[in-house]
Amino acid sequence: MKSWSSKSLVTLCMAIVMLFITACGGTVAPPTAAGTATATDNNAMAPKPAASSEPVKVVWWHSMSGELGKAIDKLVSDFNASQKNVVVEAVFQGTYDESLNKMKTSMDSKSGPTLIQVFEIGSRFMIDSKAITPMQKFIDQDKYDLSQLEENILNYYRIDGKLNSMPFNTSNPILYYNKDMFKAAGLDPEKPPTTYDEVAAASKALTKDGKFGNSFAIYGWFMEQFFANQGVELLNNSNGRKGLATESMLNSDAGVKTLAWWKQMVDDKSSLNLGRKTDDTKKAFIAGQVGMTLDSTGSLRGIVDGAQGKFAVGTGTLPKPADAKDGGVIVGGASVYILNNRSEAEQNGAWAFIKFLAEPKQQAYWHVNTGYFPITKKAYDEQIVKDNLVKYPQLQTAVDQLHATKANTATQGAVMGVFPEARQLTEGAIEEVLNGKKQPKEALDSAAKEITTKLGTYNKTVK
């Protein structure tokens, strides 16, 4: 059993203080992946308590509140009822950042969880913390069939040829558009724009009568996605996947081109700048104030239901330059990690629960009740998923977009220990440009330089 050394504790504390001063939100939902172990299989693989002993207790820290939290509670209840050897207790710990900070303070007392949900941009940090037992260990010893799972979701979390965590809640960004406004503007309501130029042209046509063509939130996740959709890496060293990243490439041609396109639409008043909150652009879209917006697939049901009776909602793929290289979307959301300072019995119990979560039935339930994509391919064969696609056909766009993504280091996504801070710096640069304070190249040069400096500082703490 591997436990944390004092050196690792110091490293972890230093890294958390540095990394998580700035808050960063998670994302929602794309498709795919399967785990075919049955409830009976999970019972067989779970640790066997002695005849007179209590079941193994597994504490799971998560960051899902509201309806998402209720869905988690249902999955946990179903697992606990399916067998007698393991009891999972799900505990909400606030935002992803708050949960990680609580994990840090729990290390000395070992009062922390067995299992923890961590947002995707925390991947590098979790590996460097030395606080986890890589998921690959359990996969190998169980000969667990990963081909059941969605490859383009696994790709993000597969680093150095192995999985350190198991994907859980997964999303990607899509274009939402108002079909009624398209029709009124003489645009084909069944043909959404797919390139930067097409989005700009459609936005001009839609801008009239006090309404705007589009509104995109100033969100670093979107810029990361625009890079991937052009097949361009955000960091050196193969996006930080072949050694620690030492340089940000935010100021590359892909970034400058994207920000110049965005800025031009704001300047010609066909794009409404509402700041950093996706909730604000979502509300503007549902109110019929703007014709297009970008948002996570996890927001789809809320957007479609919110527009019910007002207008028809269409969905399209994330736009990109017409001459972009092969690319696609990066998955957002979070995965689950098993911590290595817990007993072997607890860790095996957590693995049994993870396999249960990956089964088609559970993935189907999670997808339909949250909007997150199933990680298991066979979940799409479940009747409730088929019925949900009939009710929300707009979801098919996201499924197709994920499957069409070309697997490369750009679409795998960047990994770095200072991701939350880097995202904030990216948003600051976008803000400066859209508000007319700096030109795209100047703003991105400055942000890239700061991110590179922070990468150097972080790398020293983990070497």
Residue 50 predicted with pLDDT over 50: no
Question: Is pLDDT at 429 greater than 90 in this prediction?
Answer: yes
Rounded mean pLDDT, 264-269:
98
List, for residues 442-463, the tens digit of each pLDDT value.
999 999 999 999 999 999 998 7
- Longest CA–CA separation in the chain, Å: 74
Per-residue confidence band for 160, with pLDDT thresholds at 50, 70 and 90: confident
pLDDT reported for residue 47 = 57
Mean pLDDT of the 282-296 span: 97
- Which pLDDT value is given to residue 23? 36
| pLDDT, mean of residues 375-403 | 95
Which pLDDT score is estimated for 48? Answer: 56
> Which helix (H) or strand (E) covers residue 215, if one does?
strand 212-215
DSSP per residue, 117-179: EEEGGGHHHHHHTT-EE-HHHHHHHHT--GGGB-HHHHHHHEETTEESSEEEEEE-EEEEEEH
Is residue 370 within 8 Å of residue 71, measured between CB atoms?
A: yes
In the block, residue with structure tokens 């890496």: 233
Q: How far is CA 164 from the centre of its chain?
A: 16
Instruction: Scan for tokens 């066997």, then name that residue.
Output: 48
Contact between residue 329 and residue 220 where contact means Cβ atoms under 8 Å apart: no
Give strand ranges (E) for 264-393: 290-296, 313-316, 332-339
Chain mean position to CA 154: 12
Common-topology check for domains 6-171+332-381 and 173-328+413-462: yes
Residue type, 54: E
The pLDDT of residue 52 is above 80: no
pLDDT (0 to 100) of residue 31: 31
Taking only the tens place, the pLDDT of each residue in 119-145 is 999 999 899 989 999 999 999 999 999
CA distance 242 to 246: 11
Q: Which helix (H) or strand (E) holds 10?
A: helix 6-19
Place 105 in a pLDDT band, splitting at 50, 70 and 90. Answer: confident
Q: How far apart are CA 399 and CA 24, in angstroms?
A: 26
Taking residues 28-46, what's their average pLDDT? 37
CB 438 within 8 A of CB 432: yes
CB neighbour class for 439 (10 Å; exposed up to 12, middle 13-18, buried from 19): middle
pLDDT, residue 107, reads 72
The 10 Å Cβ neighbour count of residue 192 is: 23
- Averaged pLDDT, 422-445: 98
Q: Give me the residue label for tokens 């030395």.
A: 130
pLDDT at 32: 30
CATH superfamily ID and name for 6-171+332-381: Periplasmic binding protein-like II (3.40.190.10)
Please state the domain extents for the chain: 6-171+332-381, 173-328+413-462
Q: Among residues 462, 363, 389, which one has the least CA distance to residue 153?
A: 363
Residue 418 scores a pLDDT above 60 = yes
Q: Specify the pLDDT at position 26.
A: 38
- In the three-class reduction of DSSP (H, G, I as helix; E, B as strand; rest coil), residue 74 is classed as helix
Closest by alpha carbon to 380, among 352, 349, 402, 405? Answer: 402
- Over residues 413-434, the mean pLDDT reads 96
- Local confidence band at 331 (pLDDT 50, 70, 90 cut-offs): very high
Whether the pLDDT of residue 8 is over 70: the answer is: no
Q: How does residue 46 score in pLDDT terms, banded at 50, 70 and 90?
A: low
Residue with the larger pLDDT of the pair 158 and 21: 158
For residue 53, what pLDDT band results from cuts at 50, 70 and 90?
Answer: confident
| Domain 173-328+413-462 CATH assignment equals 3.40.190.10 | yes
Would you state the pLDDT for residue 21? Answer: 37
Distance between terminal CA atoms of the chain? 23
Question: Is pLDDT above 60 for 22?
Answer: no
Q: What is the mean pLDDT of the chain?
A: 89
- Residue entry with tokens 């923890």: 116
pLDDT at 11 over 70: no
Lowest-pLDDT range, 35-39, 100-104, 172-176, 234-238?
A: 35-39
The whole-number pLDDT of residue 3 equals: 41
In the block, tokens 């700096």 appear at: 438
